[in-house]
């Protein structure tokens, strides 16, 4: 049985006991801490002990290692991650006992209703970076926000923060329509492209999901006016647009060649001047989105300027890892053709002799559905290494392989294992090169092994 999000409201109350299955996960750990701060009695379970579970235990939350039916004893309701399926013994025990089971996204949706400002950052690409930029601004403005990011932010030394202010900031994902459980007071849409095609039938289905998300916002929608798909998605809606093209309400002007320095005008008046520490046009548009939120919230320009000047990237977003044989080594989370394009564009502005690109495709369905687009982008680096496809949640029912991509591209190296990727990088690296390990799976391990 699927419970309505609003039904969870009566369980997120002081004195109620909520049990989190998969509590050590990247967005479950902060969920447990936020619920505890609201007076809820929190318990949880996870398959493995970790730094996350240790932190929760240190905060007085009971955490059981391993999933067993008895773990849910005394719980008023259950909250689970998407990775916890119906055959989990704790889910089975809850349903047998009539204890309601809710999804993680539903819990975040209810939590944000307790905040005056609930800022939800969405988009096919750029969510983590933009949310991280906003975290810098909100912290600089001393708003003491609660933050949930789908990656690591050095400023927070984590991917989350539990604050005492009246603002909550969430990275908001469209996969499985998760963000439709949210109650934003301000919704941001960075871009709309065909992705997660194991869930969405096509681009039109993705657009419908984003439009439904925009319609949830009680305090307005901030959208990328330079992105045609976003504008088509929101056609007929009252939105505030940001971008570098004329006609945007939040407009980037006087842009430097490397897109790191520019002025921002809001409704025709100069609001701030940005000097970014990150490269690329994609980061410039992400910064404009963050500025749009700050302006809408009435945050002083100095907090925006100082906050963004100190932002040097989120974990696995063009993250500098070190040097090997005179070559700089970076890691990036890009896993969609559109993301590969902006990553390659950005690194081309950095003046390296050669771009060595070690890419691990993520999921069979994405690789098959966007095959031709991947081929176009993967022809662009000077040297290409392809690791085998990272399965994630999927089984390979089509027989597709990275070899198929390489055959179509016509040049490059196929590496069946990550150690093979590392060895080939050792052989190729020369002074003046840039090496990128790219993908949403575990390709970063190949770069880390190179630097050991």
Q: What are the residue boundaries of the structural domains of the chain, listed by start?
A: 5-108, 115-309, 319-451
Catalytic residue among 53, 127, 305, 424: 127
- Residue holding tokens 């022809």? 379
The pLDDT assigned to 112 comes to: 95
The pLDDT assigned to 4 comes to: 86
Catalytic residue among 90, 171, 193, 319: 171
Query: What is the CATH number assigned to the segment(s) 115-309?
Result: 3.40.1190.10
The reported pTM is 0.84
Q: Which stretches in the chain have pLDDT values below 50?
A: none
Between strands 319-324 and 327-332, the pairing is antiparallel
The pLDDT assigned to 129 comes to: 95
The pLDDT assigned to 205 comes to: 98
- Helices 127-140 and 301-309: crossing angle in degrees, nearest 10, is 120
Active site residue 171: yes
Active site residue 128: yes
The pLDDT assigned to 393 comes to: 78
Query: What is the CATH number assigned to the segment(s) 319-451?
Result: 3.90.190.20
Contact 233, 211 (CB under 8 A): yes
Catalytic residue among 128, 233, 343, 437: 128
The pLDDT assigned to 415 comes to: 98
Reported as a single tens digit per residue, the pLDDT across 209-231 is 999 999 999 999 999 999 999 99
The pLDDT assigned to 159 comes to: 86
CATH entry 2.40.160.10 includes domain 5-108: no
> What's the CA dihedral at 59, 61, 67, 69 to 10 degrees?
180
């Amino acid at each position: 049985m699927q419970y309505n999000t609003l039904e969870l409201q009566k369980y997120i109350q002081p004195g109620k006991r909520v049990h989190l299955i998969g509590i050590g996960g990247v967005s479950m750990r902060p969920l447990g801490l936020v619920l505890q701060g609201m007076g809820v009695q929190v318990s949880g379970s996870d398959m493995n002990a970790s730094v996350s579970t240790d932190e929760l235990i240190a905060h007085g939350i009971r955490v059981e290692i391993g999933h067993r039916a008895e773990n849910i004893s005394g719980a008023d309701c259950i909250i689970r991650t998407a990775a916890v399926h119906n055959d989990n013994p704790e889910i089975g025990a809850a349903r047998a006992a009539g204890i309601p089971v809710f999804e993680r996204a539903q819990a975040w949706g209810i939590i944000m209703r307790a905040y005056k400002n609930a800022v939800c950052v969405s988009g096919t690409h750029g969510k983590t970076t933009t949310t991280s930029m906003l975290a810098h601004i909100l912290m600089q403005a001393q708003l003491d926000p609660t933050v949930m990011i789908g990656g690591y932010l050095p400023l927070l030394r984590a991917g989350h923060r539990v604050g005492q202010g009246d603002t909550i900031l969430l990275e908001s994902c469209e996969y499985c329509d998760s963000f439709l459980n949210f109650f934003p007071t301000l919704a941001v849409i960075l871009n709309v492209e065909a992705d997660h095609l194991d869930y969405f039938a096509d681009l039109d289905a993705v657009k419908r999901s984003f439009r439904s998300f925009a319609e949830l916002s009680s305090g307005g929608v901030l959208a990328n006016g330079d992105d045609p798909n976003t504008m088509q998605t929101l056609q007929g809606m009252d939105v505030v647009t940001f971008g570098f093209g004329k006609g945007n309400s939040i407009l980037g002007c006087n842009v430097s060649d490397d897109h790191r320095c520019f002025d921002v005008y809001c409704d025709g008046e100069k609001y701030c001047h940005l000097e970014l520490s990150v490269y690329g046009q994609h980061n410039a548009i992400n910064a404009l989105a963050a500025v749009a939120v700050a302006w809408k919230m009435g945050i002083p320009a100095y907090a925006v300027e100082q906050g963004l000047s100190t932002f040097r990237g989120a974990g696995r977003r063009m993250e500098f890892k070190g040097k090997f044989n005179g070559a700089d080594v970076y890691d990036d989370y890009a896993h969609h053709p559109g993301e590969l394009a902006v990553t390659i564009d950005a690194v081309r502005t950095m003046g390296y002799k050669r771009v060595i690109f070690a890419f691990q495709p993520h999921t069979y369905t994405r690789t098959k559905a966007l095959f031709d687009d991947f081929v176009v982008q993967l022809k662009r680096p000077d040297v290409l290494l392809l690791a085998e496809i990272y399965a994630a949640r999927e089984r390979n029912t089509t027989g597709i392989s990275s070899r198929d991509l390489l055959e179509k591209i016509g040049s490059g190296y196929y590496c069946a294992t990550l150690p093979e990727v590392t060895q080939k990088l050792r052989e190729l690296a020369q002074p003046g090169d840039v090496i990128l390990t790219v993908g949403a799976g575990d390709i970063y391990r190949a770069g880390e092994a190179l630097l050991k």
